[in-house]
Amino acid sequence: MKRQSTLSRALLTAVAAACISVPAHAAEFVNVLTGGTSGVYYPLGVALSQIYGKALPGAKTSVQATKASAENLNLLQAGRGEIAFTLGDSLSDAWKGDEEAGFKTPLKKLRTVAAVYPNYIQIIASADSGIRSLADLKGKRIAVGAPKSGTELNARAIFKGAGMSYKDFGKIEYLPFGESVELMKNRQLDATLISAGLGVAAVRDLAVAQKIVIVPIPPEVVAKIGEPAYLSANVPAKTYEGQTADVPSVAVQNFLVTHEGVPLDTVYKMTRSMFDNLDQLTAAHAAAKAIRKEDAAKQPPVPLHPGAEKYYREVGLLK
């Protein structure tokens, strides 16, 4: 009996030791960094988190509303998110460590997952303001996006290309476009600059509430910016209520980005599941119609993550 008790204690000790030496599998977290809730990043981020939840069984997915590009990239560098949306020019600035753009040091942990859809830089003015051109904005009240957000950096570039600066305006508001549109509805702003996918819900609502003008950004202004990320493009007719013709504008490519600490297999599954479920993204926002697998790995501003690279090789887009 005594010998049996000794054996039992030994067995229990061995089992306890085994439990200590083999740690429990830690839950995997996938935090999707987006932008303001009235923009395009946020609904697409919600759809992505749902897609990732199915592709990564056991992972805890979440969506975080942020000030978008610059904040997202700094959060990724700090390991406080696993995947994020960003504008291509902000991504280039982060990799170089452009302090003026909000990056105190080069963010070398960043890795590209995919080029997604283009943002269109849209300057929306109330028809009553009399604004019909970039020159007409002088002396007017305008919102340019949250401070050092991707939108605000776009605003600086556009106005510099047009030979203008913030000093030319009567009043500058640093607001996300959801808030700036509300001020326009209340006649407290004359115009707002928005960098987003086409058909922004907040602008559609504004166009129904009052007559608006999409201010043209001519190709010659885009050429003077001198930044390859900025491309001439048109906001197609009928994008918004009362818009009867195409309007010259600027497009900037958006990217999905991660960091080097996210496991290869996780990024591979996230990349594959996104392209397998593009219909779900399109249902979340029409901007996702512009996502093309064939273009996703072309000319990334920062290196591809090995997990994304594995997927693109698997489908024959990389050799």
Residue with tokens 């001439």: 232
- What pLDDT does residue 109 have? 98
- What pLDDT does residue 27 have? 65
- Rounded Cα–Cα distance for residues 134 and 227 (Å): 19
- What pLDDT does residue 254 have? 94
Full pLDDT tens readout for the chain, 319 residues: 444 444 445 444 444 444 443 333 456 999 999 998 888 999 999 999 999 999 999 999 999 999 899 999 999 999 999 999 999 999 999 999 999 888 999 999 999 999 999 989 999 999 999 999 999 999 999 999 988 788 898 999 999 999 999 999 999 999 988 899 999 999 999 999 998 888 888 899 999 999 999 999 999 999 999 877 898 999 999 999 999 999 999 999 999 999 999 999 999 999 999 999 999 999 999 899 999 999 999 989 999 999 999 999 999 999 8
Contact 88, 118 (CB under 8 A): no
- What is the fold, at CATH topology level, of the domain defined by 29-117+254-314? D-Maltodextrin-Binding Protein; domain 2 (3.40.190)
- What pLDDT does residue 169 have? 98
| DSSP sequence for 149-186 | SHHHHHHHHHHHHTT--GGGSSEEE---HHHHHHHHHT
User: H helices within 80-176, ranges in order?
Assistant: 88-96, 150-161
- What pLDDT does residue 205 have? 92
Where do the domains of the chain lie? 29-117+254-314, 119-252
- Rounded Cα–Cα distance for residues 145 and 203 (Å): 14
- What pLDDT does residue 104 have? 94
> What is the phi/psi pair of residue 81, to 5°?
175, 160
> Does CATH number 3.40.190.10 belong to domain 119-252?
yes
Contact 260, 22 (CB under 8 A): no
- Rounded Cα–Cα distance for residues 48 and 44 (Å): 6
Contact 252, 87 (CB under 8 A): yes
Contact 270, 125 (CB under 8 A): no
Domains 29-117+254-314 and 119-252 share a fold: yes
Return the structure tokens found at 86.
């960003």
pTM of the full predicted structure? 0.79
Q: Report CA dihedral (303, 105, 259, 293) to the nearest 10 degrees.
A: -40
- What pLDDT does residue 3 have? 46
